[in-house]
């Protein structure tokens, strides 16, 4: 704040100096103009041969008319009758209409200085010179009064401005200080929640709203990270616990069936491998890539019907309706295959007797539909099942080795292709529709 006061004070000082200089220049020009007008009037009287012996002028002025021998021919009241107001050297260097300055006390004018203008009049053969002196006493007094006024008013004005700026800046920065204190408490762990919002709806209010939004997103990200780590640890612990239990039991039994044990361990290893792959895929998807952002090196123009058909061929019991014509799209074939495999695994795990797959060209979009006749998903839970490690409490619980990451991976991969995933009823069962943009 003090820097602002210093800057304002410097501006006021500069403005005061400029004001005094401009006023002094204006008053000086007015004095010069008045002296010049008076001299012009006397010249006119001389040319008209009507010059009086005593010239009537303003009391703050003196007039002398002198000949070429510097003899005084006519004067105004108060002027010297014998000695010209300008010395010989001053007269010789002065041209017609020029103005010079002399001490006022030399000619008896009050004040410190007088402005003298010289004009030439009369016939060319016998010219005379008109000298008009104008006192600058009133000019000096006006400038002096202004200077004293500024010297008195300046400290008062600076003090008033400092008080006003202290009040205004203090009121303006008080919400900022509150935001700073709140941020320190939040980062120090002594406070939870949001930053205080100022009552005014100004830029600081909008800044506080923006910061609160950022804190909310950071808190949500930390919560997701903690939940992700906790769920991942829990999911990894289950197969590891099974493997450890089986090995400990095998060590205590002399007649352990090692081929059967190795088969069980391979099943758990496969589950761990799938879980790690899913976690890596989701971790890579958390880089904040916007929808439609794909790696160019992995893109290829493929027939979606063929890609889905290759995946369906690994599930003999699933019915597949292939489109009559090729549905060409520029996609990541491995990603689309992973989407189809996750959906088919999920559908086969929960279907009672039937799973059907269909690929349709809808003009600008390719629709991939997977239907099963399982218990389905209630409408209230159809958004929640896309969260990571989410399972429902009904038939879609942890009953067949699922990790709760399948639908989360499906949505992420489809999102990267600029598509959408929707869940619906298959009457009975679940219907999953995927729409991918195609040329």
Mean pLDDT for the stretch of residues 306-323: 90
Output the pLDDT for position 282.
67
Output the pLDDT for position 207.
82
- At residue 418, does pLDDT exceed 70? yes
Cα gap 241→51, rounded to integer Å:
131
| Residue-wise pLDDT tens digits, 77-88 | 888 888 888 888
- pLDDT confidence bin for 422, thresholds 50/70/90: very high
Output the pLDDT for position 295.
58
More confident residue, 155 or 372: 372
For residue 31, give both structure tokens. 């004095």
Output the pLDDT for position 399.
45
- At residue 352, does pLDDT exceed 70? yes
* DSSP string covering 48-115: TT---SEE---TTEEEEEE-TT--EEEEETTS-SSS-SS-HHHHHTPPTT-EEEEEGGGTT-SSSEEE
- At residue 394, does pLDDT exceed 60? no
Output the pLDDT for position 235.
66
More confident residue, 421 or 172: 421
Given a contact cutoff of 8 angstroms between Cβ atoms, the answer to whether 60 and 30 are in contact is: no
Coil, strand or helix: which one is 215?
A: helix
| Residue-wise pLDDT tens digits, 247-256 | 888 888 877 7
CATH class, domain 203-285, is: mainly alpha
Provide the residue count of the chain: 439
CATH fold for domain 2-141: Beta-Lactamase (3.30.450)
Residue ranges per domain, the chain? Answer: 2-141, 203-285, 296-437
Cα gap 266→182, rounded to integer Å:
54
- pLDDT confidence bin for 231, thresholds 50/70/90: low
Chain-wide mean pLDDT for the chain?
81
- At residue 397, does pLDDT exceed 70? no
The yes/no answer on whether domain 296-437 falls in CATH 3.30.870.10 is: no
Output the pLDDT for position 392.
65
Angle at 240 between CA 239 and CA 242, to 5 degrees: 65
Neighbours of 4 (CB within 10 A): 13
Neighbours of 175 (CB within 10 A): 20
Neighbours of 304 (CB within 10 A): 24
Distance between start and end Cα atoms, the chain: 62
pTM for this predicted structure: 0.47
- At residue 286, does pLDDT exceed 70? no
- pLDDT confidence bin for 234, thresholds 50/70/90: low
Mean pLDDT for the stretch of residues 334-338: 86
Mean pLDDT for the stretch of residues 153-175: 78
The candidate with the shortest Cα–Cα distance to 332, out of 297, 305, 358, 306, is 297
For residue 199, give both structure tokens. 């009552």
Output the pLDDT for position 310.
92
| Residue-wise pLDDT tens digits, 16-70 | 888 888 888 888 888 888 888 888 888 888 888 888 878 888 888 889 898 888 8
Mean pLDDT for the stretch of residues 119-146: 85
Cα gap 373→206, rounded to integer Å:
52
Output the pLDDT for position 19.
86
Mean pLDDT for the stretch of residues 348-360: 90
- At residue 228, does pLDDT exceed 90? no
């Amino acid at each position: 704040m003090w820097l602002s006061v210093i800057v304002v004070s410097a501006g006021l000082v500069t403005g005061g100096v400029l004001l005094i200089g401009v006023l002094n220049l204006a008053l000086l020009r007015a004095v010069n103009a008045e002296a010049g007008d008076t001299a012009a009037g006397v010249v006119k009287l001389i040319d008209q041969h009507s010059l009086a012996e005593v010239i009537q002028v303003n009391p703050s002025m003196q007039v002398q008319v002198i000949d070429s021998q510097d003899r005084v021919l006519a004067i105004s009241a108060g002027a010297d009758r014998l000695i010209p107001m300008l010395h010989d050297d001053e007269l010789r260097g002065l041209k017609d209409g020029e103005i010079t300055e002399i001490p006022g006390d030399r000619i008896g004018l009050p004040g410190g200085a007088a402005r003298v203008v010289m004009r030439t009049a009369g016939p060319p053969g016998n010219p005379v010179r008109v000298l008009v002196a104008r006192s600058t006493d009133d000019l000096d007094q006006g400038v002096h009064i202004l200077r004293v006024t500024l010297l008195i008013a300046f400290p008062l004005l600076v003090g008033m401005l400092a008080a006003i700026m202290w009040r205004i800046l203090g009121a303006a920065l008080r919400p900022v200080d509150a935001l700073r204190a709140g941020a320190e408490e939040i980062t120090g762990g002594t406070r939870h929640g949001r930053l205080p919002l100022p009552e005014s709806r100004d830029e600081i209010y909008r800044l506080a709203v923006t910061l609160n939004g950022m804190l909310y997103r950071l808190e949500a990200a930390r919560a997701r990270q903690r939940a992700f780590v906790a769920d991942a640890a829990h999911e990894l612990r289950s197969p590891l616990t099974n493997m450890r239990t089986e090995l400990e039991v095998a060590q205590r039994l002399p007649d352990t069936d090692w081929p059967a044990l190795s088969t069980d361990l391979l099943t758990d290893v496969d589950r761990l491998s799938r879980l790690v792959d899913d976690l890596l895929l989701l971790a890579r998807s958390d880089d904040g890539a916007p929808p439609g952002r794909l790696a160019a090196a992995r893109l290829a123009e493929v027939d979606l019907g063929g890609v889905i058909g290759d995946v369906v061929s690994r599930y003999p019991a699933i019915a597949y309706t292939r489109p009559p014509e090729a549905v060409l799209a520029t996609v990541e074939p491995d990603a689309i295959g992973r989407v189809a495999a996750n959906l088919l695994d999920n559908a086969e795990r929960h279907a009672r007797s039937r799973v059907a797959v269909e690929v349709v060209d809808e003009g600008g979009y390719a629709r991939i539909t997977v239907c099963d006749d399982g218990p389905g998903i209630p409408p209230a839970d159809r958004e929640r099942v896309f969260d990571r490690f989410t399972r429902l409490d009904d038939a879609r619980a942890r009953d067949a080795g699922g990790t709760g990451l399948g639908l989360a991976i499906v949505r992420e991969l489809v999102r990267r292709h600029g598509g959408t995933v929707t869940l619906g009823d298959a009457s009975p069962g679940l219907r999953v529709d995927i729409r991918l943009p195609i040329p």
